[in-house]
Amino acid sequence: MNSEIKEQIEKIKELFSNGWITEYEKDKRIKELDPNYKPTTNNSNSSQSTNNSDYYTTPNTTSYNDYSSNTYQNNDNSNYNNNNSDYYTTPTTTSYNNNSNNEIVFKSYDDVPVLNNDFSNLSLDNTKSKSTYNNNNNNNNYNQMLLEERQKQLKQRQLEEAMARKKFEEEQKTPHPLGSFASIFGPKPAATLSVTKQELNNDPNVTIVGWDHGVKFNLGLLNGKTYVDLRDWLKESTSGREPDSPTQAKSDQWKQEQYDLAKRVDKKNYITDISKIKYIGGVDISFAKNSKIDACASLVVLDYKTQKIVYQSFKMVKLTEPYIAGYLAFREAPHLMPLWKDLVTLYPQYKPDVLIVDGNGINHMRACGAACHLGVLMDIPTLGVAKTLLYANGITEEYINNGFKKGNTVEMIHQNEKTSLGYAIYNTHNEIIYISPGHKIDAKTSLQIVQATLKSRPIPEPTFQADRVSRDFLYQYYYKLKSSK
């Protein structure tokens, strides 16, 4: 017996020991190479089908055992079913040891060898003759099928990526559909906004629009949606710019708009049972460090029962109006309304039943604080929670202090109209906060909702989370965003 035949026999034995071929096939192939070879087991009782006997063999079933000895056990019950003998066989069971030195590990299907009659690696090329394949056609067909499936998936993925990129580029050419602040008051419906998925993050729950900054965000919620709006915004090149004070004409216009909006405030209570609230929202705006212009507006929606965030949105903005007591809405509403419109247009399933605003409601010199202002524009129940007292309607610091001498909750009563403007209470940090209804809610229900969401925070959880996520956004990404220079 020459060395080449011995080498082929060793390859056959190695294939068998690693479970690639059956014992029957091993004996058959060695017998072809060495007529004097005597099989280790008696296969004479195997009543195989006489047709295609080279192709249909007894399958080898491997049972994995970490603790068994390195043994191979053959069940010599290889009797084929007389009917459909080409397909139904009695398996040979093999016990395999995890510590075997013969163990072969493949990183992918591409590494699995496909063998021809000479037991050398065979390329899966359709142009080659089928006669070069070994008798185990099923293995070859399976590998070919895997290859074709991978190629098909790759082409599909490339097509989807190309379409997504084209859509993204087209969307960036569309200007942000924001008009003047006065346009918010008009009867125009919320504009339908285009959406770009954050492909770089591979996170379907994160949506970015205006992605000119090329920043990779890590904002995904465990159970919920994240929306980021960076359209038509560039970081201030200098920290020295400050908002301009309003002209007298603008101040007069603001006053008139507040009087007009106050007439549209609905004081009827639409939340008769707070236990039936599903979602509650909060809004806030935080400044970037060392800037009096650049800020991040945020809107969050929480599950009312669990107080967990299910939706969060961010918008980088320019606060071009200064803070003036009584006119907070004109500074913040133009930047919060686009986030609201995006929410109800793109993710209406997260629309909150009530919204808490960091500011006042009807406890206001013109009965139209920020909570009323936003409530009318959004047309949902709103309430305001302020950290400082707005002196109006006879409500002064002395009034509040005298009220606390009588109890832990002070109801704020309008000096002339004798109607309830809200309540003052102490939070868990022993600080006074001022609660007043905004739109479609009454003072008592507003108090109940704040008490239910205050927890251990200085302010209710929705506005606390809106403030926290906007500050976190600025801390993590502001320095990465592009400047106007």
Q: Which residues contact 446 (CB under 8 A, 6 or more apart)?
A: 361, 383, 422, 423, 435, 436, 437
Is the predicted pLDDT of residue 11 greater than 70, yes or no? yes
Distance CA 54, CA 35 (A): 17
| Distance in angstroms (rounded) separating the CA atoms of residues 381 and 364 | 17
Q: How confident is the model at residue 193 (pLDDT cuts 50, 70, 90)?
A: very low
The residue type of 83 is N
Closest C-alpha to 353, from 457, 422, 270:
270
Mean of pLDDT values over 362-379? 96
Of the spans 36-40, 70-74, 160-164, 241-245, which averages the highest pLDDT? 241-245
What is the percentage of the chain residues whose pLDDT exceeds 90?
45
Q: What is the pLDDT of residues 276-300, one digit of tens each?
A: 999 999 999 998 888 889 999 999 9
What is the H or E stretch that residue 315 is in? strand 309-318
pLDDT at 88 over 80: no
How far apart, in whole angstroms, are the C-alpha atoms of residue 391 and residue 404?
Answer: 17
Contact partners, residue 291, CB within 8 Å, separation at least 6:
236, 239
**Looking at the chain, how many residues does it have?**
485
With a cut of 60, say whether residue 199 has pLDDT above it: no
Residues 60, 53: Cα–Cα separation, whole Å: 16
List, for residues 93-142, the tens digit of each pLDDT value: 444 444 444 445 544 444 544 444 444 444 444 444 444 444 455 556 66
* Cα distance between residue 246 and residue 231, in whole Å: 26
Q: What are the phi and psi torsion angles at 440 (to 5°)?
A: 60, 35
- Could you tell me the two tokens for 422? 């809200």
How far CA 438 is from CA of 262, 340, 415, 479, in Å, comes to 10, 17, 19, 36
Q: Which two tokens stand for residue 148?
A: 């074709």
CA angle 241, 245, 247 (to 5 degrees): 140
Can you tell me the distance from the alpha carbon of 105 to that of 202, in angstroms, rounded to the nearest whole number? Answer: 30
The 10s digit of each residue's pLDDT in 134-180 is 445 555 666 677 777 777 777 777 787 677 667 656 655 544 333 33
Q: Could you tell me what percent of the chain has a pLDDT over 70?
A: 69
Give which of 246, 230, 189, 185 is closest to 374, Cα–Cα. 185
Q: What is the pLDDT of residue 147?
A: 74
Q: Where are the domains positioned within the chain?
A: 3-104, 184-480
Q: Which is higher by pLDDT, 308 or 243?
A: 308
Contact criterion met (CB below 8 Å) for 85 and 55: no
- Specify the pLDDT at position 347: 94
How much is the pLDDT for 454?
93
Task: Evaluate whether 232 touches 210 at the Cβ level (below 8 Å).
Answer: yes
Residue 167 has a pLDDT of 67
| Mean pLDDT across 309-315 | 96
Q: Convert the pLDDT of each residue in 252-277 to its tens digit.
A: 999 999 999 999 999 999 999 999 99
Domain covering 184-480 assigned CATH 3.30.2170.10 in the classification? yes
**Residue that wins the pLDDT comparison between 102 and 456:** 456
Task: Give the pLDDT confidence score for residue 367 in this predicted structure.
Answer: 93
In whole angstroms, give the CA distance from residue 403 to residue 424: 9
Q: What is the pLDDT of residue 37?
A: 81
**CA angle centred on 285, ends 283 and 291, rounded to 5°:** 175
pLDDT category at 204 given cuts 50, 70, 90 is: confident
Question: What's this model's pTM, rounded to 2 decimal places?
Answer: 0.60
